[in-house]
């Protein structure tokens, strides 16, 4: 791909927040007709670099160049005028506005100062067809599932007719089917000469789609090279800068554990009439397309949403937990997928977040026990290798470290059942590995881990058993050698099993 | 497919969907209006209708002013004082050399300017709207009392007769204002109010000028509030530096009754207008039925809590089935 000149370029950009340098002299050049991967652990500076490239932030020094010319004051509006569009990881949608109004936001076609709804309709229809959005365009975004909202976000970027398209973790909430549509779309745009920047923690996607890679580590560029001839291991090596061994810990032979959870005719939310059981020492994976009842299964077992069952035995009790306190008392804990809203109190310190579930247990005579708390905090921070000052607000941490805090806060309760909802979403690869090791260790200690995940390789390599949900029912239960990506995806999509010829 | 029909189809579909969400509210408002007409058939005459809408008009304006800011994720506690100031400015400027047009212009400019300054402070200094407008309410009250320490001033009789006489001029003005609002909402800036209210960061990244949207929202809110003050002055025939006091909380109550949420981006202006109409009817009914003022306050509070609780309970009930 030499010979073309870059459409968008960052040259020696520096950026810091409150005295903490985040980017220390970064160069990147996006060429037309090329899918460029941006890799780096969380906290490496990827989001900041994207914000600089899209005008949402200004560099402290260095320059952003469009078509080889430095831009003066850059803003999101100026970036749009230059043909730069971003698919944000944090959705930029307005829940109560319609799909069409969301897609056009900030780029409405106008006539006499008013929004030209006719032109808007045609433009939106076109981009929705490209991404396979068939929902009525007047539907409020609030009525869409997360994966569909992500597709709206992608359509919104396309609506701006970008010459440069930046995609930040676009597949983290997409189903396999939707991710496939996106992959084909990326190839089409590339062939039309669009410059693409692709950020993903899913290395197989990076390998399949991208031809060039820039790797960030601690705010600096550690690699800027072609992806030809680099395999997954090589990518991981580039990112972490050393040999990693296998991402997934070895799976020990399953030991016969005592049955911890049995439910029959279990219904909760989207889940309808399923039978489910799990033993201690097991990691049970819950798979399926986005929004098939995975979350409701976990929440129902956790007593957080109304659930019913014809027979239930949960941690020795002959019934389902009636509420969350009940579940906690029985040793059941839940780590939500949306850690920013449900898992953590973002503006509070790491220490306060870690101690929150233990406050009552530690209290003496109704008052907080500061000495006991600080001992526990120090212990947890050490066990989780959380670096730095625990008095920092938890929102200052990278996604991966936030997730570690959301998980670690439960450990003092010595839980016997851990319900985890997509624990590695938007988490860097190194932290993923730490979390996997932790889950394996939990199982080895005789705890039961129930893991709902949208990351199929994770289910394959980590689970002793995988339950695939489809439309609220069990589509398949896979065990041992039967667990494979093909089997999970096939069951999730309702594909009948073909003869096992191969 | 012609541009006009596809424009009409999408726009109509979006509007229709918003109306469907408000069906329950429309029914309640209609029921109250029928009840009112049965109790007081006078409303069905031109004069009765005029009087009724004149009682409603200032509340409708301040509710719009409040809803505008709540939709943008803000709130204002300066409604009452700004209504008073609008009334005071009207009553002190209309005998000047520029007469009634000069007075109207002065009121409008004062509302716009006070709103814009408040909005600029909230948007650029990133201070919470509730604190800034609380501070503003003290300052505005003080200014109103300096301009006109006790009720008085001058409003020409013909203006009072035109606005608050036996013709439905107030109602027609409200319709006109609603038409302007619809047009404003069909501009990128108007939709920006919703977008920046629900998801400010996302709106900013989408290229919405979030700060400008906020300043415009506060300025328009100030304009509507000050004009409500002008109307109140015309209604009473004089300026009164504290006459607006009840409007602050009533504007919030009416917006909430109409389904406007506190967190921004949730609700509709048509809902807020219905909310103000509902509140106005309830206040009138209780007044005419001879409720003592204390009972009126208690009833008003219970109805507002009920109005917020009922849809929530319905939602939970539906979810459980």
Per-residue tens of pLDDT for chain A, all 502 residues: 456 789 999 999 999 876 667 899 999 999 999 999 998 765 678 889 999 999 989 999 999 999 989 988 888 888 988 999 999 877 889 988 999 999 999 889 998 889 999 999 999 999 999 999 999 999 999 889 888 999 999 999 999 999 999 999 888 778 888 899 999 999 999 999 999 999 987 778 888 899 999 988 878 898 888 888 787 777 767 766 544 456 777 777 666 688 899 999 999 999 999 999 999 999 999 998 777 899 999 999 999 999 999 999 999 889 999 999 899 999 999 998 888 788 888 888 888 899 888 888 888 888 888 888 888 888 888 877 776 788 888 887 877 788 888 988 898 889 999 999 998 877 777 788 888 988 998 999 999 999 999 878 888 889 999 999 988 999 999 998 888 877 887 787 776 544 333 3
A119 with B201: Cβ contact below 8 A: no
Compute the count of residue pairs across chains A and B with CB atoms less than 8 Å apart: 112
> Which of A240, A299, A293, A211 has the alpha carbon at shortest distance from A469?
A293
Task: Examine the domain organization and report whether A119 and A184 are in the same domain.
Answer: yes
**How many domains are contained in chain A?**
3
Determine, yes or no, domain membership for A337: no
Q: Is residue A188 domain-resident?
A: yes
Q: Does the beta carbon of B294 lie under 8 angstroms from any beta carbon of chain A?
A: no
The answer to whether position A338 is within a domain reads: no
Mutant choice from B14, B183, B270 vs A, greatest count of A C-beta within 10 A: B14
Whole-Å CA distances, A159 to A122, A188, A468, B12: 10, 15, 35, 22
ipTM of the complex as predicted: 0.86
- Rounded CA gap, A337 and A239, in Å? 25
Check CB contact under 8 Å for A98 and B8: no
Cα B236 to Cα A44: distance, rounded to the nearest angstrom: 66
Domain edge (last residue) among A376, A394, A412: A412
CA distance A138 to chain B (A): 5
CA angle B72, A78, B265 (to 5 degrees): 15
How distant, in Å, are the alpha carbons of A300, A312, A314 from that of A318? 15, 6, 7
Do A395 and A308 lie in a common domain?
no
Judge whether A356 lies within some domain: yes
By Cβ distance, the residue of B11, B13, B208 closest to A105 is: B208
Query: Is the residue at A1 inside a domain?
Result: no
Residue of B183, B207, B265 with shortest CB distance to A96: B265
Whether A297 is covered by a domain: the verdict is yes
Chain B positions in Cβ-Cβ contact with residue A76 (cut-off 8 Å): 204-207
The answer to whether residues A314 and A196 belong to one domain is no
Domain co-membership, A80 together with A67 = yes
Burial of residue A18 (number of CB atoms within 10 Å: 0-12, 13-18, 19+):
exposed
What's B48-99 look like in SS3? HHHHHHHHHHHHHHHHHHHHHHHHCCCCCCCHHHHHHHHHHHHHHHCCCCCH
Where does a domain end: A195, A218, A240?
A: A240
* pLDDT confidence of residue B321: 67
Question: Residue A275 burial (CB < 10 Å; 0-12/13-18/19+)?
Answer: middle
For B112, half-sphere exposure in the C-beta direction (CA atoms, 13 angstrom radius) is 6
State the average pLDDT over residues B136-158.
Answer: 94
Distances (CA, A) of B287 to B55, B58, B67, B280, B296: 12, 18, 26, 11, 8
CB contact under 8 A, B202 and A100: no
In the DSSP assignment, the letter for residue A497 is: P
Are A26 and A85 members of one domain? yes
Chain B residues closer than 8 Å to A307 by CB = none
**Which residues are bridge partners to A367 per DSSP?**
A364
Domain locations along chain B: 46-248
Q: Helices (H) and strands (E) in chain A — how many of each?
A: 17, 22
pLDDT at A500: 36
Range of the domain at A362: 344-412
Please give the Cα distance from B237 to B163 (Å, whole number). 11
Residues A172 and A276 in one domain: no
Name which of A76, A105, A117 is nearest B10 (Cβ-Cβ).
A117
Same domain, A126 and A198: yes
CA distance B305 to chain A (A): 23
CATH assignment at residue A434: 3.40.50.300
Are A25 and A142 part of one and the same domain?
yes
Distance from CA of B11 to the nearest CA of A (A): 6
CA distances A63 to A12, A27, A29, A256, B3, Å, are 7, 10, 12, 61, 43
3-class DSSP assignment, residue A208: helix
> Residues A83, A194: one domain?
yes
Are A189 and A165 contacting, i.e. CB atoms less than 8 angstroms apart?
yes
Name the domain boundary from A207, A222, A240: A240
C-alpha separations of A473 from A286, A469, A477, B159, B196 in Å: 12, 5, 11, 70, 39
């Amino acid at each position: 791909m030499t010979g073309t000149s870059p459409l968008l370029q960052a040259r020696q950009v520096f950026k810091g927040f409150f005295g903490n340098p985040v980017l220390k002299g970064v160069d990147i050049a996006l060429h037309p007709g090329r899918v460029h991967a941006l890799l780096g652990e969380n906290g490496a500076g990827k989001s900041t670099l994207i914000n600089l490239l899209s005008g949402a932030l200004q560099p402290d020094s260095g320059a952003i160049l469009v078509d080889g010319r430095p831009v003066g004051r850059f803003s999101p509006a100026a970036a749009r005028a230059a043909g730069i569009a971003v698919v944000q990881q944090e959705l930029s949608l307005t829940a109560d506005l319609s799909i069409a109004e969301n897609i056009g936001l900030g780029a409405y076609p106008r006539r006499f100062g008013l929004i030209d709804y006719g032109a808007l309709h045609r433009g939106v229809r076109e981009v929705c067809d490209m991404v396979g959005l068939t929902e009525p365009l007047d539907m409020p975004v609030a009525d869409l599932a997360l994966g569909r909202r992500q597709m709206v976000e992608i359509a919104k970027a396309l609506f701006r007719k970008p010459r440069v398209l930046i995609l930040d973790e676009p597949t983290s909430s997409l189903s396999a089917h939707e991710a496939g549509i996106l992959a084909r779309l990326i190839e089409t745009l590339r062939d039309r000469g669009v410059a693409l920047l692709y950020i993903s923690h899913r290395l197989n996607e990076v390998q399949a789609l991208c031809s060039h890679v820039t790797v960030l580590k601690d705010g600096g560029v550690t690699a800027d090279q072609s992806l030809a001839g680099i395999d997954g291991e090589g990518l991981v090596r580039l990112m972490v800068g050393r040999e990693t061994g296998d991402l997934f810990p070895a799976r020990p032979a399953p030991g016969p554990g005592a049955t911890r959870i049995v439910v029959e005719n279990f219904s909760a939310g989207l889940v309808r009439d399923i039978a489910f059981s799990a033993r201690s020492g097991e990691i049970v994976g819950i798979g399926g397309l986005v929004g098939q009842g995975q979350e409701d299964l976990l929440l129902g077992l956790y007593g957080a949403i109304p659930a019913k069952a014809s027979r239930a035995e949960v941690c020795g009790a002959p019934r389902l937990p009636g509420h969350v306190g009940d579940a906690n008392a029985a040793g059941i804990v839940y780590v939500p997928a949306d850690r920013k809203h449900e898992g953590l109190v973002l503006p509070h310190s790491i220490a306060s977040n870690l101690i929150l579930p233990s406050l009552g247990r530690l209290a003496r005579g109704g008052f907080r026990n500061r000495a006991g708390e600080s001992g526990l905090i120090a212990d947890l921070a050490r066990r989780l290798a959380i670096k730095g000052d625990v008095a920092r607000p938890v929102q200052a941490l990278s996604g991966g470290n936030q997730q570690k805090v959301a998980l670690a806060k439960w450990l003092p309760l010595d839980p016997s059942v851990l319900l985890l909802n997509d624990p590695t979403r938007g988490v860097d690869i190194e932290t993923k590995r730490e979390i996997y090791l932790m889950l394996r260790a939990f199982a080895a200690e005789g705890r039961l881990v129930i893991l709902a995940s949208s990351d199929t390789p994770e289910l394959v390599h980590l689970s002793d058993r995988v339950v695939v949900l489809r439309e609220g029912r069990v589509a398949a239960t896979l065990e041992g050698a039967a667990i494979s990506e093909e089997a999970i995806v096939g069951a999730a999509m309702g594909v009948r099993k073909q003869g096992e010829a191969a | 497919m012609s541009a006009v029909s596809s424009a009409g189809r999408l726009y109509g579909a979006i509007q229709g969907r918003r109306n469907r969400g408000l069906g329950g509210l429309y029914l309640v408002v209609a029921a109250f209006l029928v009840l009112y007409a049965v109790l007081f058939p006078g409303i069905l005459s031109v004069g009765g209708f005029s009087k009724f809408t004149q009682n409603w008009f200032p509340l409708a304006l301040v509710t719009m002013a409040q809803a505008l800011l709540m939709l943008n994720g803000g709130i204002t506690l300066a409604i009452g004082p700004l209504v008073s100031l609008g009334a005071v400015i009207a009553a002190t400027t209309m005998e000047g050399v520029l007469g009634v047009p000069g007075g109207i212009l002065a009121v409008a400019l004062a509302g716009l300017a006070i709103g814009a300054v408040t909005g600029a402070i909230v948007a650029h200094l990133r201070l919470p709207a509730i604190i800034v407008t609380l501070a503003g309410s003290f300052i505005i009250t003080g200014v109103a009392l300096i301009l006109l320490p006790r009720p008085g001033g001058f409003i020409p009789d013909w203006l009072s007769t035109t606005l608050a006489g036996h013709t439905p001029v107030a109602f027609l003005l409200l319709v006109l204002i609603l038409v302007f609002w619809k047009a404003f909402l069909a501009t990128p800036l108007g939709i920006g109010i919703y977008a920046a209210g629900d998801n400010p960061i996302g709106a900013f990244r989408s290229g919405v000028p979030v700060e400008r949207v906020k300043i415009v929202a506060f300025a328009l809110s100030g304009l509507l509030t000050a004009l409500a003050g002008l109307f109140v002055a015309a209604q009473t025939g004089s300026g009164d530096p504290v006459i607006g006091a009840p409007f602050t909380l009533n504007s919030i109550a009416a917006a909430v009754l109409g389904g406007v949420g506190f967190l921004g981006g949730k609700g509709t202006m048509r809902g807020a207008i219905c909310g103000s109409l509902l509140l106005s009817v309830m206040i009138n009914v209780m007044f005419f039925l001879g409720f003592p003022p204390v009972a009126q306050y208690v009833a008003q509070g219970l109805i507002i809590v009920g109005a917020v609780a009922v849809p929530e309970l319905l939602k939970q009930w539906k979810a459980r089935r």
